[in-house]
Amino acid sequence: MNQLIRQLSQQEQLNFLLTNRIPRRLTTQFMGWFSRIESPLLTRLSIALWRLFADDLNLAEAQEQRFSSLQACFTRRLKPGARSVDLSPEVVASPCDAIVGARGRINGTSLFQAKGFPYELADLIPDPALQEQYRDGVFVTLRLTSSMYHRFHAPVDCTLEQVTYISGDTWNVNPIALKRIEKLYCKNERAVLPLCTEQPDSAICLVPVAAILVASIKLHCLDSALDMHYSGPQRISCNVRLRKGDELGYFQHGSTIILFASGDHTFCADTETGSRVQMGQALLRREFAPDPLPSILETALPPERLS
C-alpha cells in the first residue's frame, strides 16, 4: 500500500494536478487551522498518515518526542548538538536542512529556478540597491521537504535591520512545479532578509519563499507571523544581532530558501545540485582579495625618498 501511494505521488502529471490545480489559498488556510488543533490522538494519526507519503521522516533527533499538534511536529526543535556549525570566518553556512535545488553564478541579474526557466533578480527582490549588490554574484536554492527540520538559522555573523514582505500565491515549489511554472518563486509569498556583515564589500541575503500548505514565515525578530492574514507594512524595521548558527525563524511545513551572495564567494565541494545539506554545513566560501603587492618604486627607493 505504501509503495503504491509513493508510486502515484511520483507521477508528474498527477502530482502537479493534486498539489497545484486545487484551491491553493483555501487549502493552505485549512492546513494552517488543522495543524494547530491540539489533540495528541489526532496528531499521532496525522503523523502516521504523513509517513505513508514521506518515508524519510525521522523524529529521532527531535528535542521532544510527543507533540500536542501537527504544527508542533512540523516546527520541532532538535536535540542540543544534533547539528554542528562551521565557524570558519570565510565560510557561509547552510541556514537549514535542505536539498540543493539549483546553484550557480548570476549572469548580470539573471538566474535560473530550473533548467530553461530563467528569472530576474528584480522579479524576486523589489529593492534596486539589493539587486545591484548581487549582480554577477552567486545563488543557492535550498528546498526543505515536509519531513525535514523546518527552522532556519543565520549563515554568518550578521545584523538584520529590515525585512521586506511580498504577498503572493502559494504554488507548490517541488521540482515538478518548477519545471512547469515560469518565475514560480517570483509569484509566491516571500520575505527578503538582507544580512549586514562586517565586510562592507561582501553581501549575503536570504529569501524564504512560502508554498502551498505553508504560507507562514515566522521570524523571531518580528511580533507577527508573515502569512496570508498579515496586512502590515511591506517593509518592517528591526535591529537584531545574530551569530552564525543563531535561529532566525521557521516555516510551518516546508518550503524554499534562496541564498544570495556577492561575487567574492565560491561554492564548497559538497554544494552540488541534488545534494542534501544540513544546517551549519559549509555552503559557500568567501575568497579574500590578496594584499596589493608593493610597487617597483616602493621596493627600489628607501623610505625617505618616498616622502
Domain boundaries, the chain: 2-74, 91-286
Is the pLDDT confidence value at 258 over 90?
A: yes
pTM of the model: 0.82
Q: Is 137 exposed, middle or buried (0-12, 13-18, 19+ CB in 10 A)?
A: buried
Name the pLDDT band for 271 (thresholds 50, 70, 90).
very high
Asked if 97 is an active-site residue, the reply is yes
For position 77, what pLDDT does the model report? 94
- Cα separation, 64 vs 76, in Å, equals 7
Name the pLDDT band for 29 (thresholds 50, 70, 90).
low
Which residue is catalytic, options 94, 255, 262, 265? Answer: 255
- Cα separation, 263 vs 286, in Å, equals 9
Asked if 255 is an active-site residue, the reply is yes
Which residue is catalytic, options 69, 146, 147, 153? Answer: 153
- Cα separation, 156 vs 136, in Å, equals 21
For position 187, what pLDDT does the model report? 85
Is the pLDDT confidence value at 294 over 70?
A: no
Asked if 253 is an active-site residue, the reply is no
pLDDT tens readout for residues 68-113:
988 888 889 999 999 999 999 999 999 999 999 999 999 999 998 8
Which residue is catalytic, options 46, 86, 94, 97? Answer: 97
For position 1, what pLDDT does the model report? 47
